[in-house]
């Protein structure tokens, strides 16, 4: 995933790659688990509907009242501390 740096390059890369500033809808768990990235999920970027496979530990729920908020947070903390 791409992060901060040259703004023009960031905007160019963001068209085809996922960004930490994007919002996603999680579609399903991916068929594989990566030893380095953990559980992977299939997600769709809200802004343009482009699909990506992303590490679950990198995602967070946008609604803190969502029942999934705590699950995602717990998994991310567990993953980082047990890697």
pLDDT digits (tens, 9 = 90+) for 27-76: 999 998 888 999 999 999 999 999 999 999 999 999 999 988 999 999 99
Tokens of 59: 């995602």
Q: Which residue has the tokens 């029942």?
A: 67
pLDDT(5) > 80: no
pLDDT(83) > 80: no
pLDDT(4) > 70: no
The pLDDT score that the predictor gives to residue 7 is 83
Spatial contact of 50 and 25, defined as CB atoms under 8 Å apart:
no
The pLDDT score that the predictor gives to residue 64 is 92
The pLDDT score that the predictor gives to residue 2 is 52
Which pTM does this prediction carry?
Answer: 0.81
């Amino acid at each position: 995933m791409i992060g901060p740096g040259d703004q023009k390059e960031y905007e160019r890369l963001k068209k085809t790659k996922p960004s930490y500033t994007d919002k996603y809808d999680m579609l399903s768990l991916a068929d594989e688990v990566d030893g380095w990235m953990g559980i992977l999920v299939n997600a769709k970027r809200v802004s343009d509907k482009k699909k990506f496979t992303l590490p679950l530990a990198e995602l967070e729920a946008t609604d803190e009242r969502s029942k999934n908020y705590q699950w995602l947070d717990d998994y991310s903390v567990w993953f980082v501390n047990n890697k």
